[in-house]
């Protein structure tokens, strides 16, 4: 980064040299200079300096402009006011550009070039043109409006001609000039510039045929091949050729039937038009090339990621057909090639409708990711696949395609199932816990009218004495043994669970429900006959009381618990170590929620 003081010094020398030459060579009949590039140089300096250095830079430029006007222009009397107006003009143009385009993309985007032409060539010049025209009228006489118009045209065209070139040089980067530095492109670059010079000389040095359009051809070619840099150099070559023929009083511009100052003004206008044609085109080409380079780089990166990713990366068309699949697709799909197949090829044939529905949902909400998880069978092994789908956003109403990632989530799924199983399993006995039992009970109650079932509560007799006599370690061992007995008796139609403490529950469904009392009695006997070990090598026995009820109508889980709690209470009241059942539970729903203990008949 150049030091601000050095930048001001360089621009100061350049500003004084250019403005002095301009005043000396382009003033006709003692009036204003026909071309004024000084505003462009001042604007470029203000745009590239920190705001706090503007006053310093402005003072230097005002002094230099005053000196140039005093030496080569109107003399010392009016040099300071004109210098002040000239530098204010440059600062005001820079101020407008900064406010309109804070990103300062004046030579880097199409919209930036448009704003540059509008503000620097017209709007920013108007205030100083009014004041400068009034000062010129005081010096040389004449109409204020004519002087203001001359100022506006001369300063506006001069700014448009020089400012883009100055900003281009300020935005210098190695990438901008890689075509010139690359020796393989030096010869084509020289050839295009030579062609531009040749065409320009031919077009401007003769006046028999109208050929001002001819330099546009090499200008466009230079803009396409070398973008902004090529456009800028080509415009400079065309300007030099046109100015040379005018100075030698030969060719198209010299033959115009107008005064010399109007010829110079027309030439300047012609060059600015060429610049306004070439520069936006060069900027647009550069932008599109940058986008293409980014797309190529992104595609290369995506290919690299896809080739080394354990996930399958897919690109689908609007119908869900795979157009691109990464190497991991072969392992996850179990197929040698999936391109040309529907995305459902990764799953089972029964999942195609579900996959299609997921794609449809993703198409309805482009920009949002939809997730599909399904289990698949590969080589006799069950695996879980997770697909994340996202529709490609498009201006059309229908999605043009989808991007999909598919990964193997078997390990995570097994962890989730294990966590769910542990959350529903009693850690001591290994039986389902109270939560799992109540979920099962609620499920059966919803269809109790169509599928009656039996429900039982089991309570170990005097279990507190076991803990008090032998300790909680022995008590836990007893509960573990009871759990093993129930595990051995469990089946698809007979569900056992530990409800808490020494209380257990049983749900018997299907044909087993009809023999539920018999199963409960077998359980009671198995518990009674199982010897339990104490800490001293001895043994003891424990018994259980069981209450069982038949559920044939839909009711709440609390009412079902009460239905079995009644027979259990009677079993304990009868001396424990027995099974009691409710005989008339078909009218369970009529008991009402206000009854704490159901009024049922108990049979031995």
Q: Where are the domains of the chain?
A: 1-171, 178-304, 309-417, 424-603
Query: Quick one: average pLDDT of 587-600?
Result: 33
Counting other chains too, the contacts that 345-350 makes at CB distance below 8 Å and 24 or more residues apart are 346/312, 346/376, 346/385, 346/387, 346/406, 347/374, 347/376, 347/385, 348/374, 348/376, 348/377
Instruction: Say if CB 383 and CB 410 are below 8 A apart.
Output: yes
> How far apart are alpha carbons 117 and 281 in whole angstroms?
14
State yes or no: pLDDT of 213 exceeds 80.
Answer: yes
Residue 229 has pLDDT above 80, yes or no: no
Lowest mean pLDDT among 128-142, 223-237, 430-444: 223-237
> What CA–CA distance (Å, rounded) separates 567 from 546?
7
Q: From edge to edge, which strands make up the β-sheet containing 312-317? A: 322-325, 312-317, 401-408, 381-391, 369-378
Is the pLDDT score of 531 beyond 60? Answer: yes
pLDDT attached to residue 105: 81
Q: Is the pLDDT of residue 196 over 60?
A: yes
Average pLDDT, the chain: 83
Q: What is the pLDDT of residue 237?
A: 87
| 3-class secondary structure, 500 | strand
d(CA 157, CA 375): 72
Inter-residue contact 252 to 207 (CB < 8 Å):
yes
Indicate the pLDDT class of residue 392, thresholds 50, 70 and 90: confident
**Residue 305's pLDDT band (cuts 50, 70, 90):** low
What number of residues does the chain have? 604
Q: Which of 582, 587, 584 is nearest to 555 (CA)?
A: 587
- Taking the C-alpha atoms of residue 196 and residue 537, their distance in angstroms, rounded to an integer, is 111
Helix (H) or strand (E) holding 218: helix 216-247
pLDDT of res. 300: 63
Residue 509: per-residue pLDDT: 93
Q: Helices 79-100 & 54-72, crossing angle to 10 degrees?
A: 140
Q: What is the per-residue pLDDT for 522?
A: 95
**CA 300 to CA 288: how far, in whole Å?**
18
Rounded distance, CA 535 to CA 478, Å? Answer: 12
The lowest-confidence range among 372-381, 445-454, 518-527, 562-571 is: 372-381
Structural domain 309-417, CATH architecture = 2-Layer Sandwich (3.30)
Residue 292 in tokens: 């293409």
What does CATH list as the number for 1-171?
1.10.1760
* Model confidence band, residue 524 (pLDDT cutoffs 50, 70, 90): very high
Q: What percent of the chain has pLDDT over 70?
A: 89
Query: Do residues 409 and 382 make contact, with C-beta atoms less than 8 angstroms apart?
Result: no
Q: What is the pLDDT at residue 297? A: 67
Which pLDDT value is given to residue 259?
74
Output the CATH code of domain 424-603.
3.30.70.270
Contact call for residues 433 and 497 (beta carbons, < 8 A): yes
- How many Å is the Cα radius of gyration of the chain? 47
* Mean pLDDT calculated for residue range 170-175: 58
- Bigger pLDDT: 129 vs 585: 129
Which of 492, 519, 515, 513 is CA-nearest to residue 504? 519
Dist. CA 264–CA 149, nearest whole Å: 16
CB of 180 closer than 8 Å to CB of 228: no
Q: What is the pTM of this model?
A: 0.48
């Amino acid at each position: 980064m150049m030091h601000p003081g050095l930048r001001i010094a360089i621009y100061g020398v350049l500003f004084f040299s250019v403005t002095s030459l301009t005043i000396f060579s382009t003033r006709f009949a003692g009036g204003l200079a026909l071309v004024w590039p000084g505003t462009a140089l001042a604007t470029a300096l203000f745009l590239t300096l920190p705001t706090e250095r503007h006053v310093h830079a402005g003072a230097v430029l005002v002094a230099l402009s005053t000196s140039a006007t005093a030496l080569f222009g109107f003399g010392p009397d009016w040099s300071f006011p004109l210098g002040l107006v000239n530098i204010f003009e440059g600062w005001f143009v820079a101020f407008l550009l900064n406010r309109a385009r804070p990103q300062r993309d004046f030579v880097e985007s199409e919209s930036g070039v448009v704003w540059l032409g509008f503000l620097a060539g017209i709007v920013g010049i108007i205030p100083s043109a009014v004041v400068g025209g009034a000062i010129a009228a005081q010096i040389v006489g004449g109409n204020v409006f004519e002087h203001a118009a001359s100022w506006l045209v001369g300063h506006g065209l001069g700014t448009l001609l020089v400012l883009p070139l100055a900003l281009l040089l300020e935005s210098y980067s190695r990438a901008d000039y890689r075509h010139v530095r690359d020796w393989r492109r030096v010869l084509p670059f020289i050839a295009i510039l030579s062609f531009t010079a040749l065409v320009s000389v031919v077009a401007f040095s003769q006046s028999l045929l109208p050929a001002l359009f001819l330099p546009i051809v090499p200008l466009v070619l230079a803009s396409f091949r070398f973008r902004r840099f090529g456009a800028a150099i080509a415009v400079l070559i065309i300007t030099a050729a046109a100015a040379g023929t005018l100075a030698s009083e030969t060719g198209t511009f010299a033959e115009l039937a107008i005064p010399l100052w109007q010829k110079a003004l027309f030439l300047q206008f012609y060059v600015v038009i060429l610049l306004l044609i070439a520069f936006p085109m060069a900027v647009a080409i550069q932008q599109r090339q940058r986008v293409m380079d980014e797309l190529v780089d992104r595609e290369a990166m995506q290919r690299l990621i896809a080739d080394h990713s354990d996930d399958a990366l897919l690109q689908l068309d609007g119908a869900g057909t795979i157009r691109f699949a990464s190497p991991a697709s072969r392992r996850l799909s179990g197929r040698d090639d999936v391109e040309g197949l529907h995305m459902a090829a990764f799953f089972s044939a029964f999942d195609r409708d579900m996959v299609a529905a997921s794609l449809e949902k993703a198409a309805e909400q482009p920009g949002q990711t939809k997730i599909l998880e399904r289990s698949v069978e590969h080589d006799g092994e069950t695996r879980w696949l997770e697909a994340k789908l996202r529709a490609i956003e498009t201006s059309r109403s229908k999605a043009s395609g989808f991007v999909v990632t598919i990964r193997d989530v078997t390990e995570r799924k097994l962890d989730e199932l294990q966590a769910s199983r542990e959350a529903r399993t009693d850690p001591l006995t290994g039986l389902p816990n109270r939560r799992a039992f109540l979920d099962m009970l609620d499920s059966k109650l919803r269809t109790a009218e169509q599928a009656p079932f039996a429900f039982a509560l089991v309570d170990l007799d005097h279990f507190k004495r076991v803990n008090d006599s032998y300790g909680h370690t022995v008590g836990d061992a007893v509960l573990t043994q009871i759990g093993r007995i129930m595990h051995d008796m469990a089946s698809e139609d007979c569900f056992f669970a530990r409800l808490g403490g020494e209380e257990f529950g049983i749900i018997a469904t299907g044909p087993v429900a009809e023999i539920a009392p018999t199963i409960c009695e077998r359980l009671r006997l198995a518990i009674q006959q199982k010897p339990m070990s104490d800490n001293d090598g001895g043994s003891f026995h424990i018994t259980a009381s069981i209450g069982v009820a038949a559920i044939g109508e839909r009711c709440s889980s609390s009412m079902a618990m009460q239905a079995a709690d009644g027979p259990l209470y009677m079993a304990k009241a009868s001396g424990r170590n027995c099974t009691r059942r409710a005989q008339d539970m078909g009218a369970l729903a009529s008991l009402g929620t206000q009854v704490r203990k159901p009024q049922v008949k108990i049979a031995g």
